[in-house]
C-alpha cells in the first residue's frame, strides 16, 4: 500500500517516540491500528457494494463480451467445449427407447465403442509386451558382451610377470 521498508518504519517509530513520548506511545499505536482497521473495513464494504452494483447492472456480461473480443480463439474454444459437453450429455444411449430405431442404433454404437476400446487396450498391452521382450533381449546381449571381454589384469598378474 505505502511501500514502506524497515528503515522508514524505524525512523517513523523513533520520531513518534520523541514527539509523543514513551508513556503515550502504546495508546497512539492502538488508535492508529483502530483507524487502519476501520479504513480497511470501509474499503472492503465499498468494494463489495461496487461489485454487487456491477453484477446487478450487467457489467459482468459486458466484461465477458470484452474478453471474448480480445481473445476470440479462447472464447471460441470455450464455446466449442461447452457445446461438446452438452452434446455428450445429450447422446446417452440409455435415454433412448430401446425399441425405436434410434435406440437400436445407439445400443449398437455403444457396443461397437466397447469393442473398439477392448481391441485398443489389447493392442496396447501386446505392444508393451513386445517392447519388454526387446528390452530384455538387449539386456541379455549386453550381459553376454560383458562376459566375453577378458578380465582386466590384477596386481597378482603383474607380480607374476
Find cell 533381449 and name the residue.
137
What is the pTM for the complete model shown?
Answer: 0.33
Position 159 scores a pLDDT of 63
Q: Is-contact 96 102, C-beta < 8 A? A: yes
Query: What is 9-23 written as a DSSP string?
Result: HHHHHHHHHHHH-TT
Position 39 scores a pLDDT of 94
Where exactly are the structural domains of the chain? 7-57, 96-147
- Alpha-carbon span 120 to 134, nearest angstrom: 21
Position 134 scores a pLDDT of 93
CA distances (Å), 9 to each of 3, 26, 74, 148, in order?
10, 16, 46, 76
- Alpha-carbon span 88 to 77, nearest angstrom: 16
Find cell 524505524 and name the residue.
10
* 58 DSSP assignment: T
Q: Is-contact 44 32, C-beta < 8 A? A: no
- Alpha-carbon span 98 to 88, nearest angstrom: 19
Polymer length of the chain: 161
Which residues, given as ranges, of the chain have pLDDT below 70? 1-2, 72, 75, 87-96, 151-161
Find cell 546381449 and name the residue.
141
Amino acid at each position: 500500500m505505502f511501500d514502506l521498508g524497515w528503515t522508514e518504519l524505524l525512523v517513523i517509530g523513533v520520531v513518534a517516540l520523541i514527539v509523543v513520548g514513551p508513556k503515550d506511545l502504546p495508546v497512539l499505536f492502538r488508535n492508529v491500528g483502530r483507524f487502519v482497521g476501520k479504513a480497511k473495513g470501509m474499503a472492503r464494504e465499498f468494494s463489495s457494494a461496487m461489485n454487487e452494483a456491477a453484477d446487478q447492472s450487467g457489467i459482468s456480461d459486458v466484461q465477458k463480451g470484452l474478453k471474448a473480443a480480445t481473445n476470440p480463439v479462447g472464447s471460441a474454444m470455450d464455446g466449442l467445449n461447452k457445446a461438446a459437453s452438452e452434446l455428450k450429455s445429450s447422446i446417452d444411449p440409455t435415454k433412448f427407447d430401446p425399441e425405436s430405431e434410434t435406440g437400436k442404433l445407439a445400443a449398437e454404437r455403444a457396443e461397437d465403442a466397447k469393442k473398439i476400446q477392448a481391441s485398443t487396450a489389447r493392442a496396447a498391452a501386446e505392444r508393451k509386451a513386445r517392447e519388454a521382450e526387446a528390452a530384455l533381449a538387449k539386456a541379455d546381449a549386453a550381459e553376454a558382451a560383458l562376459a566375453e571381454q577378458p578380465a582386466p589384469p590384477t596386481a597378482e598378474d603383474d607380480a607374476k610377470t
